[in-house]
Amino acid sequence: MCQDCGCGDPEIVPVVVHERLLSGNDRVARHNREHFAAHDVLAINLMGSPGSGKTAILEATARALASRHRLGAVSGDLATDRDAQRLRAAGIPAATITTGSACHLDAEMVHRALHDFALDSLDIFVIENVGNLVCPAIYDLGQTLNVVALSVTEGEDKPLKYPVMFRNAQAVLLTKIDLLPHLGGVSLQMFNDALARVMPEPRTFPVSALTGEGMDRWLEWLEASRPRV
């Protein structure tokens, strides 16, 4: 009640919150991260546009690492189970998180999906996010590393147009480099220049899932990023 004049109006009380709006998501993400760490699992949040080659790189990665490491994956997909089917065909346990109309995965969706996996029997767990260069960028999922797949056919200006996605990434896979000769003047250098303006420490892996070019450097980095047991 207003104490000044006795008018009976309610009092306006200011409450300083000063908290991240996504603190609820951050809490669940922390829980996921502890879960991955407790099982010595390297968790990758793989993001990128629809059609950037996320699933193709994952298939190639799974095949190349099959003899050395145990991989698992979840795929965020608006409506289908196709990506997870492809990954299972490539020999890795995979499930789909069907998001309906949601444009990104959040930590709670990943947390629910983790109950379907025996993390003890995995070394690397990949969360293939919904194809989108905007929305997934701001949601922590509890991953160890963020990786963005950017196909050379998308154009070298994409990092400048979608800076948040790239700024928060530890590595960028420049995919489909076998198509570079057909792109009339587009070069890897142009991608590197753009990335240097949105990432303070850009790390890129030019790769082709089709020819296998560049995959060795990517796999080496992935293996070196595994937790030391």
In the complex, what is the shortest distance from the CB of residue 78 to another protein, in angstroms, rounded to a whole number?
A: 13
How far apart (Å, rounded) are the C-alpha atoms in residues 164 and 175? 20
Residue with the two structure tokens 């990432």: 199
* Among 114, 199, 207, 215, interactor with another protein by CB under 8 A: 199
> Which residue number, 79 or 118, has a Cβ lying nearer to another protein?
79
DSSP 105: -
* Among 6, 7, 20, 184, interactor with another protein by CB under 8 A: 20
Q: Can residue 7 be called a binding residue for another protein (CB under 8 A)?
A: no
Each residue 60-99 as x (binds another protein by CB under 8 A) or -, in order, gives ----------------------------------------
In the complex, what is the shortest distance from the CB of residue 85 to another protein, in angstroms, rounded to a whole number?
A: 27
> Which residue number, 150 or 209, has a Cβ lying nearer to another protein?
150
How far apart (Å, rounded) are the C-alpha atoms in residues 29 and 50? 24
Q: Can residue 128 be called a binding residue for another protein (CB under 8 A)?
A: no
Task: Give the DSSP H/E element, type plus range, for residue 50.
Answer: none
In the complex, what is the shortest distance from the CB of residue 74 to another protein, in angstroms, rounded to a whole number?
A: 19
Structure tokens at 90: 């490539």
Q: Can residue 11 be called a binding residue for another protein (CB under 8 A)?
A: yes
* Among 5, 18, 185, 224, interactor with another protein by CB under 8 A: 18
By the 8 A CB rule, do 191 and 202 touch?
no
Q: Can residue 145 be called a binding residue for another protein (CB under 8 A)?
A: no
How far apart (Å, rounded) are the C-alpha atoms in residues 91 and 105? 24
H helices of 78-210, in order, are 82-89, 107-114, 158-161, 163-167, 188-196
Task: Give the DSSP H/E element, type plus range, for residue 34.
Answer: helix 23-38
> Which residue number, 171 or 199, has a Cβ lying nearer to another protein?
199
By the 8 A CB rule, do 73 and 84 touch?
yes
Q: Can residue 22 be called a binding residue for another protein (CB under 8 A)?
A: yes
Quick one: which of 43, 46, 42, 76 has its CA closest to 148? 46
> Which residue number, 38 or 134, has a Cβ lying nearer to another protein?
134
- In the chain, what's the furthest Cα-to-Cα distance? 80
> Which residue number, 5 or 21, has a Cβ lying nearer to another protein?
21
Q: By the criterion CB under 8 A, which residues form the site for another protein?
A: 1, 10-25, 102-104, 106, 134-135, 137-139, 160, 163-165, 167, 193, 196-201
